[in-house]
A and B are shown apart, each in its own frame.
Chain A
Amino acid sequence: NANKIIKDEL
């Protein structure tokens, strides 16, 4: 699920 991509990168 694309919504679950955690945006932890800068």
Chain B
Amino acid sequence: MNFFRLTADLMHLLSIFVLLLKIQKTRSCSGISFKTQLLYAVVFVTRYLDLLKWISLYNTLMKIFFIASSIYILYLMKIKFRATYDPSQDTFRIEFLLGACLLLALVFNYTFTFIEVLWTFSIYLEAVAILPQLFMLSRTGEAETITTHYLFALGAYRGLYLLNWIWRFYTEHHIDWIVWVAGAIQTALYSDFFYIYYKKVLHGQKFELP
């Protein structure tokens, strides 16, 4: 564990708490893409098939939290606050993402086993899981401030993982190409968002696309 990775994981936790806070406080999931949340649930379930493999208490607790919270968010969006979800705003075709990621995972993986291919699939899928949310944002052209804090925390988590990998490469000679390439793409997807968040939200303005 290093500073970057711990901070990244804490940002990831924070992002989920901010999302839960947004839904509970406003009693609405408007502005949140169900499709992105669905993809995250798929990501966590397919990645943590090794849940019973012991690495550390930290590792196990975090995995349980990510699986449980992602499914809980689906429950909130699909059942508890269903009336506040507007599917007509959430029109990104995730079938293509799922298909492309599965295909890539079948071709580019470390070992061709069931568990390993699904792990690789989850890495690729996480990289693009935010696209339905960003697409929704670009369609509506604006977002509630708390929703932008959620997205910022989520993007910061990915950015910090890049620093963690650089750190681990030099201190441990840790190499993981699949995770690096996917992580770099994932972080790059946030660059436009980061720019507007910095220009607008951090200066006290409403998040609006130019």
Contact = CB atoms under 8 A, between A and B. Distances in A.
Classify chain B: how many residues form its interface, as a range.
10 to 19
B52 interface: no
Contact of A10 (B66, B175, B176, B177): B66
A2 to B, nearest CB: 4
B171 to A, nearest CB: 14
Contact of B59 (A3, A5, A8): A8
A10 B110 contact: no
Interface in B4-26: 5, 9, 12
B79 interface: no
A3 B5 CA distance: 22
Contacts of B161: 9
Nearest to B1: A8
A5 B110 contact: yes
Q: Which label, helix, strand, loop or mixed, suits the secondary structure of the A interface?
A: loop
B111 interface: yes
B96 to A, nearest CB: 26
Interface string B117-144: 0010000000000000000000000000
Interface of B: 5, 9, 12, 50, 55-56, 59, 62-63, 66, 110-111, 119, 161, 164, 175-177, 179
25 contacts: A2-B110, A2-B111, A2-B177, A3-B110, A3-B111, A5-B110, A5-B175, A5-B176, A6-B55, A7-B50, A7-B55, A7-B119, A8-B55, A8-B56, A8-B59, A9-B5, A9-B161, A9-B164, A9-B179, A10-B9, A10-B12, A10-B59, A10-B62, A10-B63, A10-B66
